[in-house]
């Protein structure tokens, strides 16, 4: 038997955002009636279908920042007659409701009062059952933590009804967005007076907002009515999306060249590093490396490698070959010096006869 308030955690993939389609612009969408006790403030469109526009009651265009749609041109003054749009929006609502209900829960809260109040939840799919009084009470808020991820999605699945107590709070922190919070409700939703609520309510039957309740999201009812009482409802704008990109940097090594001038010291210039660097310096032995812009930077360096041998460069000669050549050069130099000394001694021993007058 499950204890009241316990949580069962299962393995499931990350929550997926729910696509509302043409229902996205609607702050309020109902099937049988939209009733309002003035004055409400609604940011977003309001729609009623398949019921006729005469089933609007108490709502005026002045309360709505958006359009009020009807199926037959009746209803509040200034309403827009667009039955095709309303039919499509209602169908998209049904599709979204089914998609939300189909997501496997990452956690399941047992039936009982205040299962969600006092919880701090990260992105995921959360299922919960009926509460005798309220799923969220005023004693402690439900906190939705985005953990710095603007793409964090929260999906709530109510097996029956959703009830928030008077002055209860749903709070977003750390980048969580109202546009990524969805409530799929198996029967009806009731937000009692003074409730502060976040997310899109998709109720199978009806939705009722008591006096002063506010919603940062949407109130959508598939088969029943939406009842308002001086409420504030703000349909969230399109979600700000955070993308994570990986940047790959490729560096191409430049070529090196050595130039021996007719006089003066040799100059070594390193080719450009990357694709756009350039630079050169003449004079004393220096090394110049191009940067990612145009410019030069020089610094003294010590020449590397063995002396030039005349055999195609020291880099092509083996160490034992160079040692042998050096030895032969020393022997040759010693022999030449010895021969020169011998000739000087021979010259000193020669006696020149006196000249006879």
pLDDT digits (tens, 9 = 90+) for 181-215: 999 999 999 999 999 999 999 999 999 999 999 99
| pLDDT tens, residue by residue, 209-255 | 999 999 999 999 999 999 999 999 999 998 865 544 444 444 444 44
Write down the pLDDT at residue 301: 42
Element (H, E) at 89: helix 83-102
What proportion of the chain, given as a percentage, has pLDDT over 90?
A: 61
* 71 vs 243, more confident: 71
* Cα–Cα distance measured from residue 175 to residue 148, given in angstroms and rounded to the nearest whole number: 5
Write down the pLDDT at residue 345: 57
- Tokens matching residue 194: 């003074």
- 3-state DSSP call for residue 56? strand
Write down the pLDDT at residue 14: 86
* 122 vs 307, more confident: 122
* Cα–Cα distance measured from residue 10 to residue 150, given in angstroms and rounded to the nearest whole number: 24
Q: Are 35 and 225 in contact (CB under 8 A)?
A: yes
Is the entire prediction scored with pTM above 0.75? no
Write down the pLDDT at residue 264: 42
pLDDT confidence bin for 333, thresholds 50/70/90: low
Please confirm whether the linkage preceding 92 is cis (ω < 30° from 0).
Answer: no
Q: Are 223 and 205 in contact (CB under 8 A)?
A: yes
Write down the pLDDT at residue 352: 44
* 247 vs 54, more confident: 54
Return all residues near 350 (Cβ < 8 A) that are at least 6 apart: none
Q: Are 8 and 108 in contact (CB under 8 A)?
A: yes
Q: Determine which of 2-11, 42-51, 74-83, 120-129 has the lowest per-residue pLDDT on average.
A: 2-11
* Cα–Cα distance measured from residue 225 to residue 231, given in angstroms and rounded to the nearest whole number: 15
């Amino acid at each position: 038997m499950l204890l009241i308030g316990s949580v069962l955690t299962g393995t499931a993939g990350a929550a997926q955002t729910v696509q509302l389609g043409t229902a996205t612009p609607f702050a309020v969408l109902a099937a049988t009636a939209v009733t309002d006790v003035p004055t409400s403030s609604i940011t977003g469109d309001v729609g009623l279908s398949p019921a006729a526009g005469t089933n609007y009651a108490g709502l005026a265009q002045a309360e709505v920042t958006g359009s009020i749609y009807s199926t037959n041109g009746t209803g509040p003054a200034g309403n827009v007659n667009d039955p095709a749009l309303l039919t499509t929006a209602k169908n998209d609502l049904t599709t979204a409701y089914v998609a939300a209900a189909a997501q496997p829960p990452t956690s399941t809260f047992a039936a009982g009062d205040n299962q969600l109040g006092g919880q701090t939840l990260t992105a995921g799919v959360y299922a919960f059952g009926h509460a005798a009084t309220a799923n969220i009470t005023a004693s402690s808020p439900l906190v939705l933590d985005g953990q710095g991820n603007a793409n964090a999605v929260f999906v709530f699945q109510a097996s029956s009804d959703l009830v928030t107590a008077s002055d209860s709070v749903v709070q977003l922190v750390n980048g969580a967005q109202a546009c990524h919070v969805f409530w799929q409700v198996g029967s009806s939703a009731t937000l009692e007076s003074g409730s502060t609520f976040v997310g899109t309510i998709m109720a199978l039957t009806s939705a009722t907002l008591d006096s002063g309740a506010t919603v940062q999201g949407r109130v959508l009812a598939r088969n029943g009515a939406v009842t308002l009482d001086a409420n504030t409802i703000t349909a969230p704008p399109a979600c700000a999306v955070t993308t994570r990109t990986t940047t790959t940097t490729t560096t191409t090594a430049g070529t090196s060249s050595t130039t021996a001038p007719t006089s003066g010291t040799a100059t070594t210039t390193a080719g450009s590093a990357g694709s756009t660097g350039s630079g050169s310096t003449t004079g004393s032995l220096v090394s110049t490396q191009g940067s990612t812009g145009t410019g030069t930077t020089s610094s003294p360096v010590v020449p590397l490698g063995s002396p030039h041998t005349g055999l195609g460069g020291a880099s092509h000669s083996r160490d034992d070959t160079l040692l042998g050549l050096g030895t032969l050069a020393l022997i040759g130099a010693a022999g030449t010096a010895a021969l020169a000394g011998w000739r000087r001694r021979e010259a000193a021993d020669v006696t020149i006869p006196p000249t006879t007058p």
